[in-house]
């Protein structure tokens, strides 16, 4: 089932500015239930999983099994069989950090590769995880532990302070089953008051081929600095698909907004070869948050600096 893992990444102010990594979402076959609560503030009991959600869980279990049977979803981070050069690293960085794969036109999401500018956070990230009421308590505990460990790694790579919080947050991870995601509009509007209808539909009408997504927002239309992000993860995913979504969406939410078919070994490539952040991807994050780069820089401004940084990271190997 090649091409199954797809992600959505956008930079918004009051409206949709850029998009990467996902086909235009199609309407879900069943309308959202108006009586299903999206995310209660503190759920003391676990709600039963719906029949449609159980069917989704069966579907994604088959997807994961198929990918693994074909030798995809690697967790080794690359190796001798996936070498890359300094030139590869620079070219991949430019394509992933400074291009958008998708844009919007007449209220639709369309595939159109366009140059953008460098985007990243300039403030500490306070991350909050919110679960739909039907997510089992044991799964919640496991996900919290997994994400807490992963953001420590991301913080170490970028130098950006990141921590989990139960209080006010600027990066929210929503882990929702099918019914909960379809009914998530009120929660999304509270998290991002300026969110538009196209972005809402990308979540509530998410196509089956979209495993997870992340939105990143700027409060100022004249800057390329993130101030808010929301990631949406399907709670029906089996362990490895779930973990791959955490790895890709949280990293993309830091500013690696695009995917590239040339990037290897990398999770920023829709070929599903790698499930987890690779050494190549770690270098991309280090480059993105190097002090010599600044939000808003163009491709022409970034490239000579990126070449210098890549040379230092790779010991001058070309």
| Structural domains of the chain ordered from first start | 16-23+49-313 (3.40.390.10)
CA-closest candidate to residue 217, choices 9, 3, 55, 11: 11
- Say whether pLDDT at 5 is over 50: no
At residue 127, the pLDDT reads 98
- Model confidence at 299, in pLDDT bands (50, 70, 90)? very high
131-144 mean pLDDT: 98
147-187 pLDDT, tens digit each? 999 999 999 999 999 999 999 999 999 999 999 999 999 99
pTM of the model: 0.88
- Say whether pLDDT at 84 is over 50: yes
Please state, in angstroms and rounded to a whole number, the distance separating the CA atoms of residues 244 and 238: 10
Beta strand 225-226 with 9-12 is unpaired
- Say whether pLDDT at 21 is over 50: no
- Say whether pLDDT at 109 is over 70: no
At residue 19, the pLDDT reads 35
Peptide bond into 265 cis (omega under 30): yes
Please state, in angstroms and rounded to a whole number, the distance separating the CA atoms of residues 226 and 11: 8
- Model confidence at 6, in pLDDT bands (50, 70, 90)? very low
119-127 mean pLDDT: 97
- Say whether pLDDT at 241 is over 50: yes
At residue 101, the pLDDT reads 65
- Return the SS3 of 297: coil
């Amino acid at each position: 089932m090649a091409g199954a893992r797809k992600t959505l990444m956008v930079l918004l102010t009051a409206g949709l500015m850029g998009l990467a990594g996902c086909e235009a979402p199609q309407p879900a076959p069943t309308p959202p239930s108006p009586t299903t609560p999206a995310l209660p503030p503190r759920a003391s009991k676990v709600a039963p999983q719906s029949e449609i959600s159980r069917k989704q869980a069966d579907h994604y279990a088959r997807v994961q099994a198929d990918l693994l049977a074909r030798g995809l979803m690697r967790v080794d981070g690359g190796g001798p069989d996936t070498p890359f050069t300094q030139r590869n690293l620079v070219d991949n960085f430019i394509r992933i950090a400074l291009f958008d794969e998708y844009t919007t036109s007449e209220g639709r999401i369309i595939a159109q590769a366009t140059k953008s500018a460098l985007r990243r956070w300039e403030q500490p990230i306070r991350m909050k995880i919110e679960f739909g009421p039907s997510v089992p308590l044991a799964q919640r505990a496991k996900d919290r532990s997994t994400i807490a460990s992963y953001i420590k790694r991301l913080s170490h790579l970028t130098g950006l302070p990141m921590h989990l919080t139960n209080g006010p947050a600027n990066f929210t991870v929503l882990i929702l089953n099918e019914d909960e995601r379809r009914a998530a509009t009120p929660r999304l509007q509270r998290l991002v008051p300026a969110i538009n209808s196209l972005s809402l539909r990308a979540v509530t009408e998410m196509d089956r081929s979209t495993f997870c997504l992340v939105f990143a927002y700027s409060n100022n239309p004249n800057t390329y600095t993130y101030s808010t992000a929301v990631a949406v993860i399907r709670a029906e995913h089996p362990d490895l698909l779930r973990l791959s979504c955490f790895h890709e969406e949280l990293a993309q939410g830091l500013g690696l907004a695009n995917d590239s078919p040339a990037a290897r070994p990398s999770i920023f490539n829709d070929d599903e070869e790698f499930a987890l952040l690779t050494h190549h991807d770690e270098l991309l994050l280090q480059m993105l948050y190097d002090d010599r780069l600044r939000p808003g820089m163009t491709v022409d401004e970034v490239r000579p600096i990126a070449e210098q940084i890549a040379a230092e990271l790779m010991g001058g190997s070309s």
